[in-house]
Amino acid sequence: MKIVTKGFASAMALTVGLAGAARAEDVEVLHWWTSGGEAAALNVLKEDLASKGIGWIDMPVAGGGGEAAMTALRARVTAGDPPTAVQMLGFDIQDWAAEGALGNLDAVAAAEGWDAVIPGALQRFSKYDGHWIAAPVNVHSTNWVWINKAALDAAGGKAPETFDELIAVLDAMKANDLTAIAHGGQPWQDATLFDALVLAEGTDFYKQAFIDLDPAALGGDKMAAAFDKLIKLRSYFDSNFSGRDWNLASAMVINGEAGMQFMGDWAKGEFLKAGKVPGTDFICIRFPGTQGAVTFNSDQFAMFNVSGEGKLAAQAAMATAIESPTFQSAFNVVKGSVPARTDVPDTAFDDCGKKGIKDLAEANTNGTLFGSMAHGHAAPASVKNATYDVITAVVNGEYSDGATAAKALADAVAAAQ
Ligand code: BGC
């Protein structure tokens, strides 16, 4: 049975939608934004669409990194009933486009000049075969540390800039009877931390290992060193880390039970939702050793092939709403991410947001901006999942030395290609 229609939805139909000739139907949106901070950000989108007369049919599938959402999506497409729009990351977008399952946003993109304002690093995923297939809503990055300010003050007050300084702060937090690191033991969270450890071994190394998938880099000394650091860091987790959701780990830092969390900047959404203020209640720093570099992931809404002018008009209207500079600011201020356009002022953002915007622009200019392996922007899902298996085995104590883990990683990635 053929489950997806080949080819692009007609650009003409989208033009009709743009001109408002067809009434936009409600949008059914599949996403994994189910935590408090994520839901608050999603509300900004729902309300924006409601103000334009477009209703929202919610299809939430919990699970950071989106693995469960992607499984649910496959089932819907197999049943011949894709949702209107789907939150999606990096290579997954390209995979669906290659199956011919996605629509075409060229008309909206051309009318609104997306080419000029959406960075090339995002366009690489939002376009397939030269055509716009997804609307990027934000840019997140994974190499952040979220630290409880009072816990840091009690541990000497200086934010760590190197791995050795990090260990000294963690030891001091432990001595103060805190869980030094709030971690959720789920493969995507383990991998989020590992993005930062690999990047800390050098930007060239991150590229060789995770973007170019060079077997010598994957199985070599620097990868062994990154795994040894992961083995060291896991000794600062509490005994209940296994399976914990990321937002519950954030909550441990928010309420002062834990010292810090290594997590993407969606964590900031949780701190803000809890009424916490950056610089006062918590601080955000780049993972020690990764200053000046960024591992990013961008949430995009991929539009599936749907038929009917009302549905196509809804897709076009949603894409337009998402790329509006006002929406980009309002949404990303709440979500913890930074705008997907380069022309959105940072005025409404807090200090962490301003830093995020500046870091991203500098990394882009300096050639130190790389796709996150953990969040599907470095390599296709098969390779990403192979890295998850080895990283999680290390976190679960199955390897006692980094060199053996690095060899296993090189083998797993080779087998996955
Ligand atoms: C997404 C974020 C989301 C996070 C946790 C990431 O993969 O890009 O938008 O907040 O997962 O659910």
Strands (E), 50-189: 56-60, 85-89, 127-128, 131-132, 134-136, 140-141, 144-148, 179-181
3-class secondary structure for 17-86?
A: HHCCCCCCCCEEEEECCCCHHHHHHHHHHHHHHHHCCCCEEEEECCCHHHHHHHHHHHHHHHCCCCCCEE
Test site for ligand 1: of 29, 33, 189, 193, most ligand atoms within 8 A of the Cβ: 33
Report the atom number in ligand 1 closest to the C-alpha of 63.
Answer: 12
* Domains, in order of start, for the chain: 8-139+298-349 (3.40.190.10), 144-295+354-416 (3.40.190.10)
Ligand 1 contact, 38 CB (< 6 A)? yes
Q: Is the CB of 299 under 6 A from ligand 1?
A: yes
Is the CB–ligand 1 distance for residue 140 below 6 Å? yes
Of 107, 98, 109, residue with least CA distance to 7: 98
Ligand 1 touching residue 371 (CB < 6 A): no
| Pairing status of strand 85-89 against strand 27-31 | parallel
Reduced to 3 DSSP states, what percent helix, strand and coil does the chain have, rounded to the nearest 5?
50, 15, 35
Q: Fill in the DSSP letter of residue 287.
A: P
Q: Which of 299, 335, 388 to mutate to test the pocket of ligand 1 (most atoms within 8 A of CB)?
A: 299
**pLDDT in the model for residue 23:** 85
Q: Reply yes or no on whether the pLDDT at 22 is more than 80.
A: no
Least confident of 34-38, 303-307, 391-395: 303-307
Residue minimizing CA distance to atom 6 of ligand 1? 65
CA distances to 243, 318, 334, 338, 357 from 329, rounded to whole Å, are: 33, 16, 9, 8, 11
N-terminal to C-terminal alpha carbon distance within the chain: 27
Ligand 1 contact via 66 beta carbon (within 6 Å): yes
Is it the case that residue 415 has pLDDT exceeding 60?
yes
pLDDT value of position 4 = 36
Ligand 1 neighbourhood includes 64 CB (under 6 angstroms):
yes
Q: How far is the CA of 59 from the centre of ligand 1 (A)?
A: 16
Is the CB of 266 within 6 Å of ligand 1? Answer: yes
C-alpha 266/C-alpha 184 separation (Å) is 14
Report the residue among 35, 140, 248, 384 best suited for mutation to probe ligand 1: largest number of ligand atoms under 8 A from its CB. 140
Nearest CA to ligand 1 atom 8: 299
Which protein residue has the closest C-alpha to ligand 1 atom 4? Answer: 64
Residue 10 has pLDDT above 60, yes or no: no
pLDDT at 24: 86
Query: Which residues are within 8 A (CB) of 7 and not within 5 positions of it... i.e. 6 or more apart?
Result: 100
Q: Quick check: 15 pLDDT over 60?
A: no
Determine the Cα–Cα distance for residues 39 and 43; give it in Å rounded to an integer.
Answer: 6
Predicted model pTM: 0.94
Tokens (6 digits) for 154: 């009690």
CA of 317 from ligand 1 middle (Å) equals 24
Mean pLDDT, residues 361-388: 98
pLDDT at 1 over 90: no
Residue located nearest, by CA, to atom 5 of ligand 1: 64
Confidence band for 14, pLDDT divided at 50, 70 and 90: very low
User: Considering the chain, what percentage of its residues have pLDDT values greater than 70?
Assistant: 95
One-character DSSP codes across 337-396: -B-SSTT--STTS-HHHHHHHHHHHHHHHHT-EEE-TTTTSSS-HHHHHHHHHHHHHHHT
Closest residue CA from atom 2 of ligand 1: 266
pLDDT band at 21 (very low <50, low <70, confident <90, very high): low
Percent of the chain with pLDDT over 90: 94
Rg (CA), the chain: 21
Q: Please list the residues that pair with 296 across neighbouring strands.
A: 141, 371
pLDDT (tens digit per residue) in 155-200: 999 999 999 999 999 999 999 999 999 999 999 999 999 999 999 9
Atom of ligand 1 nearest to the CA of 32: 12
- pLDDT tens-digit readout, 196-215: 999 999 999 999 999 999 99
pLDDT digits (tens, 9 = 90+) for 223-277: 999 999 999 999 999 999 999 999 999 999 999 999 999 999 999 999 999 999 9
Atom 1 (ligand 1) nearest CA = 65
Mean pLDDT of the chain: 94
Specify the DSSP class assigned to residue 10: P
